[in-house]
Structure 1
């Protein structure tokens, strides 16, 4: 990893090692999983089976902070409305996962998650991706490389360079490689159904990013703007329209 990417990674990733809770604490049925990556690290996470047995499975790619001990509530809440399996795994350096997160490394992590499901016997046309914030960019990277059933991009950005210029205006945009998580270009390569969602009060990633991604996405596509939702509380604003859209994508 070069010095520039090291700087990028230190500004982007905020991994937490401490575990705050576990699905076991709440009696949630799950399987603890460990996944080997191609760069010889080991990822930790959870597989949440649907209440009704199904092959339909969603890889939930979480945001840049905390770990699966706080993120597991998001897929579990979705399962209350949709009978689908979820795989939630920490990137390198988060929670019990070994190594350190890097911009290119987390893409390898996502590929390892996908490969894990394929090796477990799941078919590509049963696997969907759900990416939250930076997870949305990672989902598009994975979806451009592998066949998937559908993709959800939630509260994400058009490119790393674009969001860096907004969050760190004193940092010259030229210091951020334009090929790092360039979702504007990646989404043009996606041919499966895509749902893009965003809170209209998002104070970290402006909702304009999702409008632009929707404009560039291929059909079939859907855009849902959740009124009142900010970047970190968007899960509290998911509504009937949203869950119906997820059913169409996942089942």
Structure 2
């Protein structure tokens, strides 16, 4: 066999092998769950909360926490990222509780105490049922959807289907397929990715105000992603830039808490960029605020 033919066959074999690895093991790459025993007891000494369990039609169990306040202004449905469980994510409820909002957090299937087979379809179905249950007790005009990283796509889908008060996305991705292309640019990700999560498509259908919060030093999901997303539904979208912010540390910036306070107290006014560079942005790019 000619050397070039052998090299070509080896190259094709390696390409197919990597494609199969991405297809069959992508759940491992995408999700980093922390599993908790069924009898695990949550403990937040400074927060008032109660635990919920929702049994799905096919028998899965979705576990969640509701952080309570007296005379709440509304409720934030917080959709977390791809790692750990609500055991660790619960600390982020403090930001919203301090501003008078209750918070609902749930673990996706296979995270924490939640059970069941995890697919994009089942996750979206679970979140849909939870939102509908929430509607029975809270008017939609008092529901805020908050999606962080992985949860941003799920939050966008819910906002496209229902009519919450507002949608807040922290470090969102354009789609999971586009994010995958950054890491495996030569593979056919359109065919391989089981969780395409097209955030940009769902944002087109959102009718409530959209706030995007993103750090300029995000090494996992580039800030440029939010610049793209801000153009999808520009009239309803405001992009909040945190200079120097990374992917996992926005809550350590005073600017993040300042922005969140302005958004949730509805005292946010749309600032107009004054620098020459920002004035050259397309008018369809959405409104933007920049905070040091």
Gaps of 5+ in 1: none
Please name the residue that 1:28 is paired with: 47
Are 1:231 and 2:250 matched, yes or no?
no
Distance apart, 1:246 and its partner CA: 2.8
Distance apart, 1:40 and its partner CA: 2.6
Alignment of 1:196-215 (within 5 A): 196-215=212-231
Alignment of 1:41-56 (within 5 A): 41-50=60-69, 52-54=70-72, 56=74
Given that 2:68 and 2:97 are in contact with CA atoms closer than 8 Å, whether structure 1 keeps it comes out as no
Whichever of the two has the greater Rg, that structure is: 2
Instruction: For 2:147 and 2:197, locate their aligned partners in 1 and report how far apart those are by CA, in whole Å.
Output: 13
Distance apart, 1:100 and its partner CA: 3.3
Instruction: For 1:213 and 1:90, locate their aligned partners in 2 and report how far apart those are by CA, in whole Å.
Output: 26
Please name the residue that 1:118 is paired with: 135
Distance 1:5 1:85, change over 3 A: farther
Please name the residue that 2:168 is paired with: 152
Structure scoring higher RCO (CA < 8 A, sep ≥ 6) equals 1
Instruction: For 1:234 and 1:176, locate their aligned partners in 2 and report how far apart those are by CA, in whole Å.
Output: 32
Distance apart, 1:185 and its partner CA: 1.4
Given that 1:131 and 1:152 are in contact with CA atoms closer than 8 Å, whether structure 2 keeps it comes out as yes
Distance 1:196 1:243, change over 3 A: same
CA RMSD of aligned residues (A): 2.5
Instruction: For 1:22 and 1:207, locate their aligned partners in 2 and report how far apart those are by CA, in whole Å.
Output: 38
Please name the residue that 1:83 is paired with: 100
Given that 1:13 and 1:65 are in contact with CA atoms closer than 8 Å, whether structure 2 keeps it comes out as yes
Please name the residue that 2:13 is paired with: none
SS at match of 2:120: coil
Distance apart, 1:242 and its partner CA: 3.2
TM-score by length of 2: 0.76
SS at match of 1:72: helix
Instruction: For 1:141 and 1:39, locate their aligned partners in 2 and report how far apart those are by CA, in whole Å.
Output: 22
Are 1:180 and 2:196 matched, yes or no?
yes
After TM superposition, the runs of 4+ consecutive aligned structure 1 residues lying more than 6 A away are none
SS at match of 1:232: coil
Q: From 56, 68, 82, give the equivalent of 1:64.
A: 82
Given that 2:120 and 2:194 are in contact with CA atoms closer than 8 Å, whether structure 1 keeps it comes out as no
Distance apart, 1:243 and its partner CA: 1.8
